[in-house]
Amino acid sequence: MHEGRELALRACRAVIQASGKSIRAVHRHEDALAAERAAEAGAALGEAHRALADYPVIAGAGFLHDAEKEFAEARLLVAIISGGDVPGHGELGIGPAAWLNGLCEAASELRRHLLDVLRAGDQARAESLLDAMDEVYAVLVGVDFPDAVTGGLRRSTDALRAVLERTRSDLTTTVLQARLQRVIEDRLSTD
């Protein structure tokens, strides 16, 4: 049992590290590297699951859930940004609570990507990312189960709401500033 725990701990650390690298690659617009790191995280997660297969008490200690959540965040962020199909918890081989929390974290990560896209001048893409954040929030706010079942999802969803509203405000300000700039430029060109 101790050996299984030690193997799983190492594997879970590898999951979290590879997931973090995947998320950073997404923000650097290195899509292939992001997918590669997410796959590495998935492989390490498989090792953790195998190490704990006979020890459900240890599997429920929390560190496996945290690794699953980070893996879900990386995979879901890649899927949302690429416009691909969002894999479900069964496809990812993780529990529903970890998937839901990973989805919430992925939606929060969309803010950074949205702001980068907005700075690059792609307002339409920024608006579509805000729509994706809105969709995720709408799904998560409808999950009405105790925190013991969802792994603290309600608190994470509340934090996502704040991120969503700040993002909406930033995008709205940028849109209005662009309109004002166009009006000023039109006036100057006619004078």
Question: Using CA atoms, how far apart are residues 10 and 71, in angstroms rounded to an integer?
Answer: 15
Q: How far apart are the first and last CA of the chain?
A: 81
pLDDT digits (tens, 9 = 90+) for 20-29: 999 999 999 8
Asked whether residue 66 carries a pLDDT value surpassing 90, the answer given is: yes
Please give the residue range of the domain that contains residue 69. 2-190
CATH of the domain at 7: 1.20.58.2140
8 A C-beta contact, residue 137 and residue 164? yes
Average pLDDT for 69-97:
94
pLDDT digits (tens, 9 = 90+) for 129-172: 999 999 999 999 999 999 889 988 999 999 999 999 999 999 99
Domain count, the chain: 1
Query: Of 114, 152, 146, 151, whose CA–CA distance to 133 is shortest?
Result: 114
Question: Using CA atoms, how far apart are residues 8 and 58, in angstroms rounded to an integer?
Answer: 9
